[in-house]
């Protein structure tokens, strides 16, 4: 039986800072097969036939194991994936707002992964941004505080704008909310993350 369902994706305050990885207790189950997405059109709806999610005019394939954007972007770099998982789990226990964003990320990570996979420029920039954040996360896990360059926030803002253009309406609304939180910078102060020039 074929059902059409809307795809909802809501992202994190800092989509690349608070990314959890598959395997946490709160992660909803994902599909067990392949997801296919359009390379050029925004994702609005996908069809589910029990085995495959397909959007019209599909040209990009993402395997089920890669439905997490971090796993997709870092590929087989398991130590870096573990670092981010440890970071997201630590934040989850320490900060209510970050925990909510992590939960929303788990719920909707397939659309974000498909958007990233469908656009080489977004994929390249997301991978670069993620890799630039890894040293900050390492320091934060060791010392309980860190410095985050303003340029990372500026690059995150630009990436969010490009993702929003290709996303579903719920994702665009959440991106707006996340961008507002990034501008306010309150969460960084609460987490002992100093924004530096």
Q: What is the pLDDT of residue 158?
A: 96
Q: What is the pLDDT of residue 61?
A: 52
Q: What is the pLDDT of residue 68?
A: 86
Reported pTM: 0.68
| Sequence-separated contacts (24+) of 142-148 with Cβ below 8 Å | 144/192, 145/192, 145/193, 145/194, 146/192, 146/193, 146/194, 147/193, 147/194, 147/195, 147/196, 148/188, 148/193, 148/194, 148/195, 148/196
pLDDT tens digits along 38-72: 443 443 333 333 333 333 334 455 555 557 898 89
Q: What is the pLDDT of residue 141?
A: 96
Q: Sort strands 53-54 and 193-196 into parallel, antiparallel or unpaired.
A: unpaired
Q: What is the pLDDT of residue 177?
A: 84
Q: What is the pLDDT of residue 43?
A: 39
Q: What is the pLDDT of residue 97?
A: 85
Domain tally, the chain: 1
Coil vs helix vs strand at 194:
strand
Q: What is the pLDDT of residue 11?
A: 35
Coil vs helix vs strand at 79:
helix
Q: Which residue range(s) make up the domain with 37?
A: 3-196
Q: What is the pLDDT of residue 98?
A: 84
Query: Which residue positions in the chain have pLDDT lower than 50?
Result: 1-59
Q: What is the pLDDT of residue 108?
A: 73
């Amino acid at each position: 039986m074929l059902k059409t369902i809307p795809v909802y994706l809501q992202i994190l305050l800092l989509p690349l800072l608070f990314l959890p990885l598959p395997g946490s207790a709160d992660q909803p189950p994902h599909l067990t097969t392949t997801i296919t997405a359009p390379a050029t059109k925004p994702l609005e709806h996908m069809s589910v036939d029990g085995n495959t999610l397909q959007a019209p005019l599909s040209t990009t394939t993402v395997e089920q194991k890669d439905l997490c954007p971090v796993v997709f972007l870092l590929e087989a770099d398991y130590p870096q994936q573990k670092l981010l998982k440890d970071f997201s789990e630590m934040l989850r226990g320490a900060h209510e707002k970050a925990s909510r964003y992590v939960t929303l990320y788990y719920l909707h990570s397939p659309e974000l992964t498909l958007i990233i996979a469908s656009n080489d420029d977004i994929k390249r920039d997301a991978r670069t941004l993620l890799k630039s954040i890894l040293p900050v996360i390492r320091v934060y896990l060791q010392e309980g505080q860190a410095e985050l360059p303003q340029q990372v926030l500026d690059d995150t803002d630009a990436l969010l704008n490009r993702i929003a253009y290709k996303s579903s309406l719920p994702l665009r609304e959440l991106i707006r909310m996340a961008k507002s939180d990034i501008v306010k910078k309150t969460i960084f102060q609460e987490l002992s993350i100093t924004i530096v020039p």
